[in-house]
Amino acid sequence: MIEAEQLSWSYGRAPVLDAVSLAAPHGRVLGLVGPNGSGKTTLLRLLHGALTSPTGTVTVDGDELRALAPREAARRLAVVVQEAGGESALTVAEMVLLGRGPHLSTFRRTRPEDHAIAARALATVGATHLAGRSFAGLSGGERQRVLIARALTQQATHLLLDEPTNHLDIRYQHEVLGLVAELAHDLHTTTVVVLHDLNLAARYCDDVVLLGGGGVVASGAVEDVLAPEVLEPVYGIGVERVEAGGRLHLLFHPRPREDLRA
């Protein structure tokens, strides 16, 4: 479980987040959503320690993140960022094996069991057939699967992803997020994902934190947060919620130009 209390961050004199708190439990997918500039990626970076908030705390299973040694933090938290390693000369197998780094001492080489863990991770994400290929030559969807496999190879209990569907076509968006949700539920990992697309959040997240105006506008189960009365003031657009195929879907209706001028 990841818990954050009263986090804040500013870029220069421009505050981005103020007094943000949240909880991400095991076995569920927590989506961070909000308009551009609302601090989604910044918050994710605070949660995994790439940034350190001047206020508040982040705890991982009850332990303060800032008190964990880097190697220990890496054993608990695996991070998948946007467009990572796109120009790497490594093969897919080599890229995935990097996930064993937190479990190796400085001069210790990988062992057969490390290679076996990496192979199982590739199999889990359905990418075994890619093992010998150059990572740089993969499609966007293939790269995302490989980066998730690297995170699994890390054997961390918490997975954090920054817009994993960015620049992917519709098929790969659903494949990647379907995989993320399946792993969270089957492996009982804590999963936090930054998403722009609210319909993807509605389909694949269990809980949502909606950011806006420097703070948390709403948080809770998807069906409670992704509601027209909650979303419309934040996004400035009309929202209609419908159900189709037993799932929640959102339709958006731009406001008339006179409403925007007002």
In this prediction, residue 203 carries a pLDDT of 96
Dihedral sign, Cα of residue 83, residue 87, residue 92, residue 98 = negative
pLDDT of residue 129: 95
Task: Pull the structure tokens for residue 222.
Answer: 């998807």
What confidence score (pLDDT) does residue 261 get?
A: 53
Regions in the chain scoring below 50 on pLDDT: none
What is the per-residue pLDDT for 106?
Answer: 65
Domains of the chain: 2-219 (3.40.50.300)
C-beta neighbour count of 174 within 10 angstroms: 16
Give per-residue pLDDT as tens, 80-132: 986 555 557 899 999 999 999 888 876 678 888 999 999 999 998 889 999 99
The pTM for the full model equals 0.88
Q: Which of 99, 98, 78 is nearest to 161 (CA)?
A: 78
- Interatomic CA distance for residues 22 and 220, integer angstroms: 10
* DSSP for residue 99: G
Q: Are 176 and 164 in contact (CB under 8 A)?
A: yes
